[in-house]
Amino acid sequence: RKDLLGLQDLTREEIDLILDTAESMREIIDRPVKKVPTLRGKVIVNLFYEPSTRTRNSFELAAKYLSADVQSVAVAQSSVQKGETLLDTARNLEVMGADLVIMRHSEGGAPHFLARRLRAGVVNAGDGIHEHPTQGLLDLFTIRRRKGRLSGLKVAIVGDILHSRVARSNIWGLLKYGSEVWVAGPATLLPPGLEALGVHVTHDLDEALDGADVVNVLRIQLERQQKGLFPSVHEYARFWGITPQRLAACKEDVLVLHPGPMNRGVEITSEVADSHRAAILEQVTGGVAVRMAVLYLLLGGGGTGE
């Protein structure tokens, strides 16, 4: 396999391999000297057409920890602004020596388009509302570390499911392990068709939270709302926000996740986000480990299956 495009495409065995590799990588992050020579001589390019803090910087640090050369394209200052196409941009980076292009794009399928046309590998760092595979993997990594397993759990994904590539990658990953996936949100933010995949869909937040082992709280994606947010931010916080009161009704050992960036006081309160039940910063550290594993397996570790 030269590309990582989505969790839909990966087998459970491939995901296990990535998560097991990430456990070894996680140890490197805790060392005083966070550097191994594994990917020396490899060239990785970050090509982000949408803003990012966690994904772009964690890929960049993951590459550096593995001694790869990494270049982050400043798209806003690049010839993309003069109208250069995605394919021309990527081909120019490839002939400069890129072995792997990590890309985020507002259009679903953009990484798949490039992967078919480049010799270099392509990693999807988020494509429109389609998938965000490394976020899905780091969520699985965090759940496995905290809960000791990925099977037989009830996982509630709450909020703006409609616009969430994170939700889709979580759903594909968790279903492969036989966990029970619930999605809950206002009717305006729930897409059709999820029941057909075996997902439980509800408008009743209490039903989703009841007995949940994990609650993955999603960000309200104000930038992707077509006609203004309904419900309003205020209504959303009141009816769908994860508050200490709602958490009190959950299992005592419920694990709260959020992919970031958070709208504090909207989908999650600070009391919950900063509580011991939440693993939001652990997710971020796990994200570096997972991305190190992905880079290693695609560029240096003998492939993930094909």
Beta bridge partners of 216: 157, 257
Residue 224 in marked binding region? no
Find the binding residues for ligand CP in span 246-285 (CB under 6 A): 259-261
Min separation Cβ 21 and ligand CP, Å: 21
Please state whether 260 falls in left (phi above 0), alpha (psi between -120 and 50) or beta.
left
Integer CA distances (angstroms), 134 to 22, 29, 44, 69, 293, in order: 11, 17, 16, 20, 10
Euclidean distance between CA atoms 105 and 272, whole angstroms = 31
Give the integer Cα–Cα distance in Å for 95 and 79: 16
Q: Which of residues 54 and 277 has its CB atom nearest to ligand CP in the complex?
A: 54
285 appears as a binding residue in the annotation: no
From the list 38, 46, 55, 164, which residue makes contact with ligand CP (rule: CB under 6 A)? 55
Regarding 54 and contact with ligand CP (CB under 6 A), the answer is yes
| Residue 79: both structure tokens together | 């010839």
Q: Is 146 annotated as a binding residue?
A: no
The reply on whether position 52 binds ligand CP by CB under 6 A is yes
133 binds ligand CP (CB under 6 A): no
Burial label, 62 (beta-carbon count in 10 A; 0-12, 13-18, 19+): buried
**Residue 246 marked ligand-binding:** no
Q: Which of 135, 164, 169, 304 binds ligand CP (CB under 6 A)?
A: 135
Region of 53-61, 149-157, 168-176, 270-278 interacting with ligand CP (CB under 6 A): 53-61
User: Is 226 labelled as part of a ligand binding site?
Assistant: no
Lateral strand order in the sheet of 200-202: 200-202, 180-184, 154-158, 214-217, 255-257
CB 88 to ligand CP: min, Å: 25
With CB under 6 A as the contact rule, the residue among 11, 24, 53, 151 that binds ligand CP is 53
Cα–Cα distance, 208 to 215 (Å, whole number): 9
Q: Is 225 annotated as a binding residue?
A: no
**Euclidean distance between CA atoms 284 and 258, whole angstroms:** 10
Binding site for L-aspartate: which residues?
82, 165, 219
Binding site: which residues?
54-55, 82, 104, 132, 135, 165, 219, 260-261
Which residues lie near ligand CP (CB under 6 A)?
Answer: 52-55, 126, 135, 259-261
